[in-house]
Amino acid sequence: MLLLPVCFGHSWAGEILALTGARIIDGNGGAPLEDGAIVIQGSEISAIGPASVVPANARVLDLADMTLLPGLIDAHIHIGGSGGGSADPREFTPTAVENSLLSYLKFGVTTIYDMAAHPSLNSMKTVLETGELMGPRLYGNGFGITAPGSHPIRLITELGLLEYLGPFYFQVDNVADAREAIRSISAQQVDGIKLFHSRVEAGTTRFDADMEKLKPDILHTLIEEAHTRSLKVYAHTSFPSEVREFVEAGGDVVVHSVHMAETGANEVFELMAERDVAYIPTLAVFEGGYTSKPDSFFSPQLHDKVWDVLLASITAPDSVVLASREVPGLLNDRERSLEIAMANLGRALQTGVRIAMGSDAGNAGMLHGATVLREIQLMYEAGMTPMQVIVAATRNGAEVIGRGEELGTLEAGKLADIMVVNGDPLQDLSVLGNVELVVKNGKIINPGELEFKEVPQPTGDGF
């Protein structure tokens, strides 16, 4: 560990801070700057370059042997889901959410995008912005729109969550309701609109679901109404044909891999590249719980960055992650989906589609923060270079969520969100797990000092 004379959240109010002596990967994809310096004033980067950019009056933090890169951006998460195995009631406490937010910082993630649906997105944004709650920047859709009874309505019904989560989904089957849904959602200060346009459903085998999709006139209306309000439209899709319908209707971001077919994928990626529709592959979620064998992934160092209640819940006897492994056909199905998704990521890359990184954390077994490392590894295995993966997880992520002006790269004038890792991630991406320091909004955070809060063990009824 670095021994640094810095305190938790210290901001050096009024002072100029310089991070020096490090390798700098700025997020734009060019060659790294060796022995570079970043100057921070207030919440912004004021200069980046060789040591000569550091003003004489700056407070200097020497970071030799370290690599500086933009704070990571996880462009697809669900803060409303614990990411655990749903086997411990402590997972569903407000404190669990706070601990998951800390996990993001421990993994160097300074921005997250909630892809729907969380009951209290707006209030969480507020407490994160004021600093009342410690965590990454939070953006999101808050709500989802789907065809009546389609994904994820059936899934949340089966999980017994309809009463709790149902109000955050609009099920529309006519144009008037589509208009009303967008009007109503946009009144909630959301950052985008999430649509489900898929005839298969997560949590089922590919053969036992053939859900209704959004009808063409409804799809068009939803996208048009969202764009009128300057909101981007994000879609859950599965087949190439669904992606094509979404893109041709004017959609902006495809938030999962094309994971149901390879045939026809190339043509769809060509169309996406032409219209600059971005792609978030979410490979890890197709693995079906990389966390179910924790010893193979969680080194002691990584283990410390995860609230142990969540990991224990995943391997508990009543874990839904383990139970899902007993669903006939589901594992084979996911394995095949992952193969298709990996192959299609290669195609998307070849075609020049803009790719961003998203973990889909919050789903069962997809831990907040930790899943980013797994996702990054899978993107690399699918054929992306370490630099391409880093650009996807930084600059592209910021652009895809509409924050490219202020976040995603290390450049003068941008917000100072920086990740400091020990080693060279261009040689080995697992180095991204060695987070020594995080800078968010110009403030230095020592991840080793972020302590998970305890929640009392449940005592029976009324917990």
| Pair 265, 347: CB distance under 8 Å | yes
Position 225 contacts Zn ion (CB under 5 A): no
Handedness of CA 334, 345, 255, 414 (dihedral sign): positive
Which residue has the CB atom at the shortest distance from Zn ion? 360
The contact pattern for Zn ion, residues 123-162, with x = CB under 5 A and - = no contact, is ----------------------------------------
* Beta strands per DSSP E along 197-335: 232-236, 253-254, 278-279
Position 115 contacts Zn ion (CB under 5 A): yes
The contact pattern for Zn ion, residues 168-207, with x = CB under 5 A and - = no contact, is ----------------------------------------
Stretch that binds Zn ion, among 31-39, 226-234, 353-361, 426-434 (CB under 5 A): 353-361
Q: Residues binding Zn ion: what is the number (CB under 5 A)?
A: 2
Stretch that binds Zn ion, among 30-38, 108-116, 161-169, 335-343 (CB under 5 A): 108-116
Q: ∠ at Cα 128 (125, 131), nearest 5°? A: 150
Longest dimension (CA), the chain: 67
3-state secondary structure at position 441: coil
Binds Zn ion by CB under 5 A, chosen from 88, 360, 375, 417 = 360
Q: How far apart are CA 297 and CA 305, in angstroms?
A: 13
Position 247 contacts Zn ion (CB under 5 A): no
- Tell me if the bond preceding 117 is cis, omega within 30° of 0: yes
Q: How far apart are CA 76 and CA 303, in angstroms?
A: 22
CB of 51 to Zn ion, least distance (A): 43
**Which residue, 88 or 114, has its beta carbon nearer to Zn ion?**
114
Q: How far apart are CA 339 and CA 382, in angstroms?
A: 9
**Which residue, 186 or 359, has its beta carbon nearer to Zn ion?**
359
Q: What is the dihedral of CA 310, 80, 156, 258, to 10 degrees?
A: -90
**Which residue, 32 or 358, has its beta carbon nearer to Zn ion?**
358
**Which residue, 333 or 360, has its beta carbon nearer to Zn ion?**
360
**Which residue, 124 or 361, has its beta carbon nearer to Zn ion?**
361
Residue 139: in which H helix or E strand, if any?
strand 137-140
Stretch that binds Zn ion, among 136-144, 169-177, 260-268, 352-360 (CB under 5 A): 352-360
**Which residue, 80 or 136, has its beta carbon nearer to Zn ion?**
80
Q: Are strands 16-24 and 33-41 parallel, antiparallel or unpaired?
A: antiparallel
Q: How far apart are CA 305 and CA 168, in angstroms?
A: 31
CB of 453 to Zn ion, least distance (A): 26
CA 119 to chain centre: 18
Six-digit token pair at 253? Answer: 């971001």
CB of 259 to Zn ion, least distance (A): 13
Stretch that binds Zn ion, among 13-21, 107-115, 290-298, 303-311 (CB under 5 A): 107-115
Stretch that binds Zn ion, among 222-230, 313-321, 359-367, 377-385 (CB under 5 A): 359-367
Position 74 contacts Zn ion (CB under 5 A): no
Closest CA to 257 of 227, 237, 241: 237
**Which residue, 194 or 414, has its beta carbon nearer to Zn ion?**
194
Beta-carbon count within 10 A of 159 CB: 15
Stretch that binds Zn ion, among 82-90, 110-118, 177-185, 427-435 (CB under 5 A): 110-118
Residues contributing to the site for Zn ion (CB under 5 A): 115, 360
